[in-house]
Amino acid sequence: MAEAKPTLSDALVKRWRIRSSRLIADTRSSLVYRVQCDDQPDAIVKQLKPSGLHELPGLDFLSWRDGNGAVRLLDRTETAALLEDAGTILLRDYRLLHGEDASNSVVVDLVNKLHSGSSSPQPAELTPLKRHFQSLYVRAADTSDPLFDVFSYCTVIADDLLATQANIRPLHGDLHHENIISDDGGVWRAIDPQGLIGDPAYDVANIFGNPDGAFADIVDPARIITLTLLFAKTIGCSKEKILRYAIAHAGVSICWSFEGNDRISAGGNASERLAFFKVARRLLEAGAVSV
């Protein structure tokens, strides 16, 4: 017998006058539904699981952005949110059709919007970058870990970056090609923010290891250098800072994969991030982005 799919609670159905719902994602952290409501356009409901409560600051971030660069938060309860439906066109698929340069232009435009000011006060409960990197620090403390050299290297970089943050502001915290979505009108919006606060150079770090399925591009030194130059100009910081944040993020991303029972296996996130780390480390130590 097929396992029954999770359904929305009666309380949420009543609160948002939901006529119909369809489960579109079931992740470690949340359930996501596309819904039809009585008195508004189609929308998205995101229901956080107990393991996803660390994403609550992301809802605060969406409220603060108020639709500028990110999907609009329409209403929320303690652990569920009613969101604007951003559309169905993933930047990952757009990149396949239109190429890397077109995809990067979308990222740059969106980062500029996400990092623009707001007339509303900044959210008080955003996650500091230091806490965001906690899994890396835990792993780096274990000298018996087979990847101790990797985690130790990333921790040294993270320590320096976090101690010298500049232009600290609210950050999306999880920008990548599946968290950037467009509707048929070509309006791009970011979804699923982590809700961080810190140096804006971190907000582009995850782009280096994406999109899924583009391993050859992810480990291509020319692409890494191109992204470094592009994002340094976008953020207004040094090229070296951009690359170092990408390296530090690769380290913590491996740690998160391990926490999700991924291992250094062919095709897995941990394997891809480790391969990227090795290439990016060589570029950094060779001074490829120092001028």
The mean per-residue pLDDT over the stretch 32-45 comes to 91
Phi and psi torsions of 176, nearest 5°: -160, 180
Instruction: Find the CATH number of the domain harbouring 76.
Output: 3.30.200.20
Residues 165, 128 within the same domain: yes
Euclidean distance between CA atoms 128 and 206, whole angstroms: 17
Residues 116, 253 within the same domain: yes
Q: Is 1 contained in some domain? A: no
Q: How far from each other are the two terminal CA atoms of the chain, in whole angstroms? A: 62
Looking at the predicted structure, is the pLDDT value of residue 52 above 60?
yes
Q: What is the predicted pLDDT for the residue at 291?
A: 58
Instruction: Report the number of distinct structural domains present in the chain.
Output: 2
Q: Is 3 contained in some domain? A: no
Q: Is 291 contained in some domain? A: no
Q: Is 271 contained in some domain? A: yes
Residues 115, 229 within the same domain: yes
Q: What is the predicted pLDDT for the residue at 268?
A: 85
Q: What is the predicted pLDDT for the residue at 3?
A: 58
- End residue of a domain, out of 34, 69, 84: 84
Phi and psi torsions of 180, nearest 5°: -125, 115
Looking at the predicted structure, is the pLDDT value of residue 235 above 70?
yes
If you average pLDDT over every residue of the chain, what do you get? Answer: 94
User: What are the pLDDT digits (tens) for 260-269?
Assistant: 888 777 668 8
Low-confidence winner among 13-17, 244-248, 256-260, 270-274 (lowest mean pLDDT): 256-260
The mean per-residue pLDDT over the stretch 257-276 comes to 86
User: What are the pLDDT digits (tens) for 74-109?
Assistant: 999 999 999 999 999 999 999 999 999 999 999 999
CA dihedral 212, 213, 217, 219 (to 10 degrees): 80
> Which tokens go with 118?
């707001």
Q: Quote the domain boundaries for residue 172.
A: 89-285
Q: Is 290 contained in some domain? A: no
How long, in residues, is the chain? 291
How many CA within 13 A on the CB side of residue 102?
11
Looking at the predicted structure, is the pLDDT value of residue 144 above 60?
yes
Q: Is 76 contained in some domain? A: yes
- The residue that leads in pLDDT, 253 or 184, is 253
Which residues, listed in sequence order, are joined to residue 197 by a DSSP beta bridge? Answer: 128, 170
- pLDDT grade, residue 1 (50/70/90)? very low
| pLDDT cut 70: percent of the chain above it | 97
| pLDDT cut 90: percent of the chain above it | 86
Place of tokens 């107990």: 50
Looking at the predicted structure, is the pLDDT value of residue 65 above 90?
yes
Residue 84 CB contacts under 8 Å (≥ 6 apart), including other chains: 43, 44, 67, 71, 72, 73, 74, 189
Looking at the predicted structure, is the pLDDT value of residue 209 above 60?
yes
The mean per-residue pLDDT over the stretch 191-203 comes to 97
- pLDDT grade, residue 4 (50/70/90)? low
Residues 49, 94 within the same domain: no
SS3 287: coil
- pLDDT grade, residue 39 (50/70/90)? confident
Q: Report which DSSP code applies to 273.
A: H
pTM of the full structure: 0.95
Between CA 250 and CA 183, with CA 169 as vertex, the angle to 5 degrees is 75
Give me the helix-helix angle, 269-285 and 239-259, nearest 10°: 150
